[in-house]
Every structure is written in structure tokens, then in C-alpha cells.
Structure 1
Amino acid sequence: MTTALFSIAGAVAVVAAVVVVTTRRIVHAALWLVVALGAVAGCFGALHAEFVALVQILVYVGAIVVLVLFALMLTKAPTNPLPALTTRRSPFAAAVAGVLFLLLGTGIVIAFGNEKIKPVPAGAAADVGTAVFRVWVLPFEVLSVLLLAALIGAIVLSQRSGKLSEPDETVSSSGKGDD
């Protein structure tokens, strides 16, 4: 049962990830990213790693995607379809993705072979919590500062976009700048 749930959630994650990179609307890509990250949380849930699944939903679906959507809104990114940006390199990108899929798939089959997926043993949430607050505190804090800087940068860029088109000097009717 665990293997079936994991496989279904994994398939949904892969399909949603493909839609994320192939859609022509950036807002739709962000919303499909929610589906992909939710399916990854489903993979964790299938493995009985509920704590990690909830952290996946809270941090990635709840925070990262919201940050991406805010950045899109604040920077006034175009939300209409942009076919000219993606069609030229699509065959090359598909070939690279196919080669990477084959390499990673072969590596996983060689490494794990016919092993069955085993659920996480009981008490794993306490171990994860201890590791997070003892070993990984600094990286989490650095990440939070990085996300804050990205949000502030998006706000600054959106405020500056109107000021860039204004001339710095006033030009008189003679064509010379006022000194």
C-alpha cells in the first residue's frame, strides 16, 4: 500500500513539474508548482513521515510559492502568454531533461534495485526536530534572511520602474541643459 501511494504521489509530482516548466503563463506555473510541492508532501506522507510532510506544506507551499506570487505581482511581471521566450530552446531542453532522466533513473535502479519502500520508524519526528534545532538552525536563519532580502528587492524594483523613464536634466528650447 505504501509503495502504491508513493508511486501515485510521485507521478502527480512529475506531471505537475512538467506542466510548471511547459506552461506559457507564469502565474499558472506558480499554481502548478503548488500541486507539485503538495504531491511531494504526499510522498512524505506515504512514507509515514508526517512531520516532514507538514513542514513541506508549510514552508514550500505556504511560504515559497506565496513569495513567488508576491514577487510576480510586485515586479509587474507580464502574466500574458510569452511563446517567443520558450519555443526556440524547447527541443534542446527536452533532450537535456531526457538524458538527465535516464541517468538518474539508471542510478536509482542500480542503487536500490528491487527494494520495497519502508515507512519511517515511530519517533522520527522527535529526531527530525532535534536535528533541525541543533544542527540546522543557522541554515534556516540564513534562508529566512535571504527570502526577506528577495522580497525587499522585489518591492524596491517595483517602485523604481516608474522613475527610470524620467529625464535627469531639464532641456531648454535652445537644446542646451540648464546649468
Structure 2
Amino acid sequence: MTSLDLLVIVLYFAVTLGIGLWATRHQQTAGDYFLGARDLPAWAVLLSIVATETSALTVISIPGIGARGSLVFLQLTFGYLLGRAAVAFWLLPGYFRGEQETAYARLESRFGPGTRRLVSVVFLATRFLGDGVRIYAGAIPLALVTGWNVPVSIVAMGGITMVYTWFGGLKAVVWADVVQLAVY
């Protein structure tokens, strides 16, 4: 790895942390922290959703699948489209009207508290397992590029993510996602 490579990696991490610190300046209430003060532009939220759906596994696996001549990965793309349409139709209108602050509140208002609890448990279980795999998968190329070992790469990625999220809340997450998608 050259000095320029290291500089790019350090600069990227610094910009990501800077976004979290920048977002802190604009927080006055818990609603500002958890809801991004409800003033995030729709295009930034859209790009954040796309970036969130595009994990390290996607970035690593899709080019390999395409290179083998298979179009199977298009199923993922169609799933993204259907999922985004469902979110846009059922969840976002109530969120932007201020009727509920989470997707779970929306599910409870439409289908009852049992549905909200079930979906919450399923989400937490799948995120816990899936995020572990995604962080590990993202740490492998970082370790290869930097020469760090995988545990150090996991701590670096996880630590930076925790810091900008802790300080900047939703606004920091959305803007960091926009930067990450631009890099992708």
C-alpha cells in the first residue's frame, strides 16, 4: 500500500467522523437526534436507503456474479424496487406527516401491537446476525488493503461508525451514507 492509498483511507475516515461532529451542531432535542430534525432532503434519505441496502457483501459479490455471466443478481435489484415502493407507499407518508416516528409505530397503528412486537424481534435478530456477517465481510478487503488484521479492521470500521452515529444521530448517518454511496 502506498502513502497515497493510506492518505485516501485516513481522509475517508476523517470525513465520515467530521460528518458526525458537524451534525451534532444542529441538535437541540431528542427528535433532532433520532429524526434528523425532520428536515433532511428526500434525495439524501433515498440515497441513504440505497447505501444501507448496499452492504459490503453486495459490493464484493455482485461483480463476481456478473463476471460469471449470470444475471441472478437482478432478483436483488427487483427486490429493492418492490421494497422501496412498499416503504414509500405505506410508511413514509405517516412519517412525514408526523403521525408516527418509526416504522414500528406505523405497523402498530395499521395491524396492532402484536405485529409491531413480532416485526421488532425479527428485525433485531436478523440485524444482529446479518450485521456481524457484513462487518466481517467489509473488514476483509480493508485488512487486505491496509495490512491490518481482520479484528483491527472490524474495530476500526465499527468504532468510526459508532462515533459518528453517537454524536450526530440520524442526520450524521444519512449524510455519511450519501458519502459512502458516492464512493461506491
Normalising by structure 1, we get a TM-score of: 0.25
Normalising by structure 2, we get a TM-score of: 0.25
Please tell me whether Structure 1 or Structure 2 has the larger radius of gyration of its CA atoms.
Answer: 1
Q: Which has the higher helix share?
A: 2
- Larger RCO: Structure 1 or Structure 2 (Cα < 8 Å, ≥ 6 residues apart)? 2
